[in-house]
Amino acid sequence: MRIDILTLFPEMFAPLEASMIKRARERELVEIHVTNIRDYATDKHQITDDRLYGGGAGMVMKPEPLAAAVRDAKTAERPRVIITAPSGKPFTQRVAEELAKEEQLIIICGHYEGIDQRFIDAMATDAFSMGDFVLTGGEIPAMAITDSVCRLLPGVLGDERAAEEESFSDGLLEYPQYTRPPLWEGQEVPAVLQGGDHKKIAAWRRRQSLERTYRVRPDLLSTASLSPEDAAFLAQLRAEEEQPFRLYVALLHYPVYNKKRQTITTSITNLDIHDIARAACTYGLAGYFIVQPIQEQQELIRQLVEHWRSGFGAKYNPDRSQALELLEIQPSLEAVIEQIEAETGQRPRCIVTGASLGQRITAPKELRRTMEREGGSYLLLLGTGWGLAEEITENADFRLQPIYGRFGYNHLSVRSAASILLDRLLGGESSPKE
C-alpha cells in the first residue's frame, strides 16, 4: 500500500519515523510520502489560502495547489482521496478495515476555515471526522488514520490475531489486559487468567468486553454481532442496574451429609444441573456454580453441558443453552468464593437454608431488603444428599427461613427448593418488563 499525506506542516509527521510504522516502512509493507502543499503554489509567496467569498472571519484553502498536489501524488488508477474535517463521517474501525484493502490513500490535511468546496466536489472521495471536537488542523487526524490503517496490513503486527482481537474489531471494546507480576500493590490478576483454562479465559474476556462496551460505549451494541449468550449477559447487566446486588447460587456435592450424618461427596444429577440453571437464568442470577471435587464427575458435567452449549442440544433447545451459560464448575466452595471475589472485587456473603439450622433465622423478605439496602454480592448455598455439612452452615452470613408447606412436610428436591427460594427472594413481578 502507498499512503500520500498532503500538508502545510510536514515537520509534524516525525512520529511516522518511529515504532511500528517505521518498521513497516523498512520492511516495505507500506510506502508513506509526506508532501508540502506549498510546493504546488504558483506565486512567489507560496500562498495556499485566501479570504472567504461572502465575507466572514478566517481563510479557506485554495483549490489549485491541492489539485496539483493530488495529481502529482496519484499512482493508483482510483486512489481514495481523503480530507479530514469535523463535518465528515465518523472514522471507525470498520472504515480503517475498508481503507486497508486499497492500493493508495491520499490524505489531505485541512486548515483554517476549511477547503474550497469545488476541490472537494471534484477530487475528494471521502471526508472523515475523528470526533465531535475541532482541531487546529488535519495533521493529527491524518496520523491517526495512517496508524490505524497500517497496523491492519498483513505482516505489520506480526501476530495477525492481534488486530482481530482488539477494540472495535468485532464491534465491541476490548477486554482488560494484565501481565506480570501477578500481585501489584495489593491488586491481583484475575484468577481465571492464571488458571490456564482457555475456554474459561475466552468466556471471561467476552463478558468483560461486553460489560466494558455496555458501561462506556453502549451505542456500539446496536450494531455489534451478539450471540444469544451475549444478549443474556447484557440483560443480566441491565437487571443488576435495577437491583444493586449480585446473587449467585452454588450447588454443593461436598461437604454434605448422608443419612447417618457422615460427611460425604454425592454424585451429580442431570436434572439438578438443568433445572437450577434454568431457574438461575429466569431470576437473573449472576452465576450458577456446581461444587464437585471428583474429577471424573467434573468431566461428566462438562460433557453434559457442552452438548447443550455447543453440540446438537444448542440447536435443538437454544433456551437451555442460554441458561447453561451461567454454569461454572469448581472443586470447592472456597474456589467459588475466590472466583466471585476476583470478578466483583468483594467476598460474597453466604446464605444457607435447611430444616435444622437453629437460631438466627432470616425471612426471605427481610434478606431481600438487606441486599437492596447494602448491595454487594451474595451466594446462596444449596446442599445435596441430606444437607450441607455443619462447617458450612455455621460460617454462613445468613440463615434463610426453611421451606414449609401447609402441613409441615419438608422433603423437596434441591432443584424444587432452589426455584422456591429464588422466587421468595427475587420474585414479585407478574409479567416481564417492557
Res 336 pLDDT > 50: yes
Instruction: Tell me how far apart the alpha carbons of residues 48 and 36 are, in angstroms, rounded to a whole number.
Output: 11
Give the pLDDT score at 430. Answer: 45
Given a cut of 70, whether residue 82 has pLDDT beyond it is yes
C-alpha 63/C-alpha 71 separation (Å) is 12
The pLDDT, as a whole number, for residue 312 is: 85
- 347 pLDDT more than 70: yes
Higher pLDDT, 4 or 42: 4
Its pTM stands at 0.56
Domains and CATH numbers, the chain: 2-164 (3.40.1280.10), 167-226 (1.10.1270.20), 243-426 (3.40.1280.10)
pLDDT bracket for residue 344 (50, 70, 90)? confident
How far is Cα 301 from Cα 347, in angstroms, rounded to an integer? 26
Q: What is the pLDDT of the chain when averaged over all its residues? A: 90
Helix residue ranges, H only, 258-331? 270-282, 295-309, 312-316, 318-324
Angle at 54 (CA atoms; ends 50, 58), nearest 5 degrees: 40
Q: Is the pLDDT of residue 218 over 60?
A: yes
Buried-state track 84-114, b at ≥16 Cβ within 10 A, e below 16:
bbeebeebebebbeebbebebbbbbbbbbeb
The Cα 279–Cα 151 span in angstroms is 46
Q: Using CA atoms, how far apart are residues 163 and 20, in angstroms rounded to an integer?
A: 13
| Nearest partner of 351 among 405, 426, 259, 430, judged by Cα | 426
Tell me what pLDDT residue 358 has. Answer: 55
For the chain, what percent of residues have pLDDT higher than 70? 94
271-301 residue pLDDT tens: 999 999 999 999 989 999 999 999 999 999 9
Lowest-confidence region among 156-165, 187-196, 229-238, 420-429: 156-165
- Indicate if the pLDDT at residue 129 is higher than 50: yes
Average pLDDT, stretch 79-95?
92
Q: What's the CA gap between 19 and 36, in Å, rounded?
A: 23
Q: Of residues 285 and 186, which shows the higher confidence score?
A: 285
